[in-house]
Structure 1
């Protein structure tokens, strides 16, 4: 049954990507859905790789936003929020909450494992399938597997580490958790191997943004190395992207204009590094109310579907306003991204037929601020501050949010790293990164900056729950989600996160 489901998914996923994204994918497995009839030619491998991307597009945009934002301090509930989301937002996380279920991540990982396991066999069956093409396909699978495990490591801490394919029901066996450090080591290994074989380009900017390239891998490496507290490696990874001269910040130096719109909502700008591409006709075929982020943010100020809006903290402190000159504003908080007066998040607004229809996962601003963070960790504070200024200049950031930390004050309160964290809040508002950013900074050097999490909790949890929530956040085990109850019941080798026992 599992084998049949997997191969049907490949067929449907390839169909979705072929019609909604680009023509680089062939349609479907040509020889049916039986595995021993599937891995026979290069077109089938391409379909299997396409299935990985389609499975990502199906679940990741909303999942990443929810898990990366609702435990943080930049969103608040709107009237369509679900009870399960509200419990997490209020710091009341239970193993019975289905939002803690990790199966979406592991489903994608299994698709990656299957390509890694079975694609090499096609070399002997299809003489037109080259070693170079095989390596590129496996590199894509390894990079995406690493990306999914990076989410798992940051969300769950310790978790099962499975690197072999499960292609039939009799291969389903219980697996115990591996330590987070082992998962991170495997992520590092996968990315180093993938970097060697991944293409630098697929020929067009649209394809390069929608698939794994060396530069997507380098950006992900920088993210991982910062989490692992390896600033030298993170710096080297960012420099590979920067030195390629393929990317730049989209800016309008003469006037505010709509440069921010062209980066975040239009997609496929010179700033994009990795984007989930739904295709230019997505809203035409499926309807505007089916676009991935519609169920979270609605559309425009009058939508009745909204589950989240910007918190008061965003308006009052993250962006704030120029009370003397209202025409002076940070372009990252203008009407195309956020309605300051109502808190309506408009960064993901779409209209029917918007082209292209992309959700951005990594962009060049990520690389620059990753580099600033690595430089700061290496006590090169002045260089880090110069990068922050570069980001702020592009965004027309206002003086009210400008800081002048001592370049020698790296990780103290109000230091360079705090300024980087503040700038990341402005640059990547509502892009599913806030919780991970704050946790990364807080846990560094054995939780030297636990105050960052304490302050975040005090800002985000209702007053009547604050004392309980603050007491919880002091325990590092609470920073990771529980194992969903279903998994505990069906896999007797799993041990629950001790905070939730």
Structure 2
């Protein structure tokens, strides 16, 4: 495995990372792709592992985390945070802010596109390259590309949808931007295709197997598709996809040592970015290092997400709360306390899928079934009476709010909070915009709150600006109109 990973890194560093001056930073050196690579199934396998290597190299993971958490309410800033970080927190984002830098994500997408473009050459040249292995590699590339586009479309809305790789100078052409609906349609189609190509698992084993959690499997693709359907408000389809995972008994919640999920070795993980082969845990400088810019927002977490019981059993604690997920001084514990190696970045795990199904059920009017799922999860996590909403099965709005509160408890610091809040706010044509207004009152400095509230009422502001550098490189890109004022 280490040998393959090394080969893939060397090959793909030439293919995908050699230039930062071209459109979307996607250009490799001319000629190397066809002349020196893509001749055997081993080349394609190396390229697959290169894709996964690009995910855990640091820059991509940092983007997934900051896009999903920084504008939320569960991550705060330390004195070491940058001015750009503070502008984001105060809802005063400019097109020059580093948070809009998508280059690492598009570079990883290009890795996927190159495999999809050139794997057929290896299939033709190598008679030992079987259909099942060939399709698995293509399915993995499709799924990773879809996953990255899903983050991009939720973050920027209208984005370049590049489906062909950049392998020579002549490949560098502008594709302009596609609308949110066009991107989501492509993601849906690609994930449906990937479901037919990738295997249920890569290596059959009892219990946890790193080859099945650090690589795309059919359950991983299915979880992605369910997530996409929730964003699209296609709740019946989301229920169908979650059932495919929950009905096969392959995954299960752990009862004890809950934090072991993030170190690997449990039956909860469906897909994760593994740090086991990394020299440095990419999350270490962000939330663990003494000079970390980000910290757990302990005040909000303890007051709103994990409040203590007020009358009986006041000393009990939810096993996802302070002391488990974070310390009293804001160190995030989900990613370990040192580097290298250590805890992995969870993308999808069984608890997430359970909550996706509960949300779909509630939206479909099946309140009793949704509440049963929440009850099961809370029992495993030793959730406190103080956080039990005690809603009636007919109070569907109350159940949905309860589900999102439980998602905050369960998925804290996993790059999902902002997208959860935005999904809830925008559904039914922004029927819950007040959720984002309330968010501003909790997270933005008092002296700029009114300005931020005014901004958040403009729905274009919910998406980041296209970086100024990208606009300069590609005149066909159009800035989000909110940032033209």
1:124 aligns with 2:124: yes
Residue equivalent to 1:317? 304
Farther off after superposition, 325-334 or 86-95: 325-334
Q: Does 1:141 align with 2:141?
A: yes
1:383-394 matches, cutoff 5 A: 383-394=369-380
What residue number does 1:260 align with?
Answer: 258
1:164, CA displacement in angstroms? 1.1
2:393 counterpart SS class: coil
On the 8 A contact 1:209/1:268 being kept in 2, the answer is no
How far residue 260 of structure 1 moved from its aligned partner, in angstroms, is 1.6
Which residue of 2 is the match for residue 3 of structure 1? Answer: none
TM-score normalised over the length of structure 2: 0.90
In the TM superposition, what is the alpha-carbon distance from 1:13 to its structure 2 partner? 6.6
Task: Check conservation: 1:248, 1:270, Cα contact below 8 A.
Answer: yes
Task: From the superposition, tell whether residues 304 and 159 of structure 1 become closer, same or farther in structure 2 (CA, over 3 Å).
Answer: closer
- What's the CA shift string for 1:442-481, capped at 9, x where partnerless? 1001001111111111111111111111111111100001
Match of 1:272 among 269, 272, 295: 269
Q: CA RMSD in A?
A: 1.9
Confirm or deny that 1:444 pairs with 2:453: no
> So what's the TM-score if we normalise by structure 1?
0.87
Is contact 1:321-1:400 (8 Å) kept?
Answer: yes
Question: Does structure 1 residue 338 correspond to structure 2 residue 326?
Answer: yes
Summarize the alignment of residues 194-213 of structure 1 with structure 2, pairs less than 5 Å apart: 194-203=194-203, 204=205, 205-213=209-217
Give me the whole-angstrom Cα distance separating, in 1, the residues matched to 2:249 and 2:352.
15
In structure 2, what is the equivalent of residue 96 of structure 1? 96
Q: Say whether the 8 Å CA contact 1:381–1:407 is kept in structure 2.
A: yes
- Cα offset, 1:268, TM superposition: 3.0
Provide the C-alpha distance between the structure 2 equivalents of 1:344 and 1:322, rounded to a whole number of angstroms: 24
Match for residue 245 of structure 2 among 224, 241, 258: 241
CA change 1:489–1:12 in 2 (3 A) is closer
Counterpart CA distance in 2 for 1:443 and 1:459 is 19
- Cα deviation, residue 33, structure 1: 4.4
Q: CA deviation at 1:311?
A: 4.3
Equivalents in 1 of 2:71, 2:399: separation in Å?
24
The separation in 1 between residues aligned to 2:72 and 2:340, in whole angstroms, is 33
Matched, 1:474 2:457: yes
Q: Is the 8 A contact 1:74 1:314 kept in 2?
A: yes
Contact kept? 1:72, 1:457, Cα under 8 Å: no
Listed as ranges, the gaps of 5+ residues in structure 2 are: 1-6, 15-30
The answer to whether the 8 A contact 1:116-1:141 is kept is yes
* TM superposition shift of 1:36: 2.1
Write the mapping of 1:58-207 to structure 2, written as runs, cut at 5 A: 58=57, 59-203=59-203, 204=205, 205-207=209-211
Structure 1 unaligned blocks of 5 or more: 1-6, 15-31, 253-258
In the alignment, is the contact (CA less than 8 A) between 2:123 and 2:129 conserved in 1?
yes
Q: CA deviation digits over 1:408-442, x for unaligned, max 9?
A: 2223xxx1111101000000111111000010111
The offset of 1:60, in angstroms, is 2.8
Distance in 2 of aligned mates of 1:410 and 1:470: 28
